[in-house]
Amino acid sequence: MSITSTEAARPPVAVIGPNAITRMAEALATIGGGDATCRDVFASAGLSDYLATPPTRMIPETDVAKLHRAAVDRLGEARTARISREAGRLTGDYLLAHRIPLLAQQVLKRLPRALAARILVKAIARHAWTFAGGGEFTYEASPQLTLRLKGSPICKELRTREPACAYFAATFERVFMEILGPTLQVTETECEATGAPACVFEVRW
């Protein structure tokens, strides 16, 4: 999710950025129950190697799915949602610090919010393969901004009672909030994990 990189071709194997793993590990260790809980969840997912050697390159989207399924199985939906939201916030911090140039952020902040939102979401859509994996990211900018992710990496083989993509919702919220103001909220209103045809995120400010 970068505002400056040129659009890259989708790789033959569906992959996703390493933040989806490393920030989940950080959130598990800090608010999710500590290092022991983090190790337990990663071991349950068969991903302990990522704790020994944190990934720095794109990773298979299936690993992200395994991690979220393991978290729900071991910790329950509500606790996993809180941890995922913190991981998403941390990912948003990373994107703002390393992927969206400060000058671009400053320019966007001076624009009317609706215009800034359209510019930002277009940039996100151009690089959606970095977080959507093999899924499809689309959006509608009118009358309000709505984001859709069909084939969410988080939802593969996952069934929950409540929407499960708190990680994505929080990442979107952190980035959009920085540009559009502190009142902005992103809410996942539909989720494939609950049986919906796509994950839907409503952006409101």
**Tens digits of residue pLDDT in 88-135:** 999 999 999 999 999 999 999 999 999 999 999 999 999 999 999 999
CATH number of the domain bearing residue 140: 3.90.1520.10
Residue at token pair 């045809």: 197
- The Cα-based distances of 193 to 72, 106, 145, 157 in angstroms read 12, 37, 22, 8
Q: Residues with Cβ < 8 Å from 34, sequence gap 6 or more? A: none
Q: Assess contact for 80 and 45: CB atoms under 8 A.
A: no
Position 78 pLDDT exceeds 60:
yes
Per-residue pLDDT band for 72 (boundaries 50, 70, 90) equals: very high
Is residue 11's pLDDT more than 90?
A: no
Of 5-14, 100-109, 142-151, 195-204, minimum mean pLDDT range? 5-14
Tokens of 123: 């940039």
Q: Is 6 inside any structural domain?
A: no
DSSP assigned state of 153? G
Residues 56-71 pLDDT 10s: 999 999 999 999 999 9
Q: 17 near 131, Cβ under 8 Å?
A: yes
Band (6; pLDDT cuts 50, 70, 90): very low
The alpha helices in the chain, defined as continuous H runs, are: 19-30, 35-45, 49-52, 61-75, 77-98, 102-110, 113-126, 129-132, 166-180
For 36-53, the pLDDT digits (tens) are: 999 999 999 999 999 999
Helices vs strands, H then E, count in the chain: 9, 6
φ/ψ of 114, rounded to 5, equals: -65, -40
Instruction: Check residues 9 and 198 and name the one with the higher pLDDT.
Output: 198
Instruction: Tell me how far the alpha carbon of residue 85 is from its chain's centroid.
Output: 9
Total domains in the fold of the chain:
1
Pick 142 or 87 by higher pLDDT: 87
- Assess if residue 10 is contained within a domain: no
Q: What pLDDT is stored for residue 7 in this prediction? A: 40
66 domain-assigned? yes
Which string of DSSP letters, residue by residue, matches 66-117?
Answer: HHHHHHHHHH-HHHHHHHHHHHHHHHHHHHHHHTS-HHHHHHHHHS-HHHHH
- 156 domain residue, yes or no: yes
pLDDT at 4 exceeding the cut of 90: no
The domain containing residue 55 runs over which residues?
15-204
Interhelix angle 35-45/61-75, rounded to 10 degrees, is 120
Q: Name the amino acid, one letter, at 109.
A: K
Residue at 62 is within a domain = yes
Quick one: pLDDT at residue 150?
98
Query: 186: which strand partners?
Result: 203
Asked if the structure places residue 7 within a domain, the reply is: no
Taking a C-beta distance cutoff of 8 angstroms, is the pair 203, 144 a contact? yes
Specify the pLDDT at position 12. 67
Q: What is the pLDDT of residue 5?
A: 36
State both tokens at 146: 């709505």
Residue 93 lies in a domain: yes
Structural Rg of the chain based on CA atoms: 16
Q: For the whole model, what pTM was predicted?
A: 0.93
What integer pLDDT is reported at residue 142 of this predicted model? 86
Percentage of the chain with pLDDT > 70?
A: 94
